Structure 1
Amino acid sequence: MADAGGSKEKKTKEPKNQVHQEAILVETIKKELRQQKLFTNYSVNPFKKSEALTPKPNVYPDENEGEDSSFIDIIHRANLEPEKKYSQPQTTAQEVGWYHEPLLKINRSDARLNFPMIRSEISAYAEEYFKFKPKKYDKSIRSGPETTAKPT
């Protein structure tokens, strides 16, 4: 019998054809090989803290061989502060403190921006009070009752 809403047959998935699967695999490999680039410029990681490289044990060091100046430059550049390496901050965390120079030059004669400490009668009294205040406090105030008792 037919359904009132129309007859819909269930479609069964056909098994994948082996030829099509091979074609998909070949296309995938070709895409990967197009994007793949061979890396041949090998050097020591300048961000890893290793200053000395030892030679092979069975080879005598060449006395005529000088230092590699490009490698030394890479090491020195890696040890610089971020402000000296880059012109702009690379992350949002570097933005804090990146521009540390003041926007306005300090002018001590300008009363609008200069608020020096003014000495009044109260501050003079407090200064004299702290001059004569004893340096060490009473030990009974600092320590609790457990430290005041002497062991017997």
Structure 2
Amino acid sequence: MASTTKEGVNIVHQNAILCETIKKEQQYQKLYTNYSVNPFKKLYTLSGKPNSAHDSADGEEDSNFLETIERAHQEPVKKYSNPQTEAQEIGWTTKPLIDTDRTDRRLHFPRHNSDVTKYCAAMWRIKEQTENMQ
């Protein structure tokens, strides 16, 4: 029978495993250096650098920053050409399917007031006013 004796930890093998792990991590790691302001945060006040000569008293406007903020506050229909999620598909097309003609009685049903409804509305109004006066 083979004896299973446990030997000490081999430092060379542990170091090789560590180096291989670090190499794999660095292979897919990307350094992000393009810093920007979060456009979805409501508070976006930026101050200039201290002792900077190019900051005027009027203040400079960063056009890229303003475009990012404006784009973040737009409706999804204006940002994207197609809905991005299933929930956005509901109500994505808000244009009416047909042009409605107010004179066409088949599609337009305006509210009509008869003598009875006018009388009830006046009576209800008087009742509300007398209750509020007390």
- Is TM > 0.5 for Structure 1 vs Structure 2? yes
Equivalent residue number for residue 47 of structure 2:
54
TM norm structure 2: 0.66
- 1:100, 1:42 → 2: CA distance? 37
Q: CA deviation at 1:95?
A: 2.8
Aligned residue-pair number: 126
**Quick check: 1:114 aligned with 2:99?**
no
> Identity over aligned residues, as a percent?
47
Residue pair 2:37, 2:44 contacting (<8 A) in 1 also: no
Q: Which residue of structure 2 lines up, in the alignment, with residue 30 of structure 1?
A: 23
Structure 2: runs of 5+ lacking an equivalent: none
State the Cα RMSD in Å: 3.5
Normalising to structure 1: TM-score of the pair? 0.60
Q: Is the 8 A contact 1:108 1:114 kept in 2?
A: yes
| Structure having the larger proportion of residues in helix | 2
Quick check: which has more Rg, 1 or 2? 1
Where in structure 1 are there 5+ consecutive unaligned residues? 1-8, 140-152
Deviation at 1:20, TM superposition (A): 4.2
Q: Measure the CA separation in 1 of the matches of 2:20 and 2:35.
A: 31
Query: C-alpha displacement at 1:114, in angstroms?
Result: 3.2
How is 1:76-115 mapped onto 2 (pairs within 5 angstroms)?
Answer: 76-115=70-109
What is the SS of the residue equivalent to 2:84? coil
Specify which of 123, 126, 132 is matched with residue 117 of structure 2.
Answer: 126
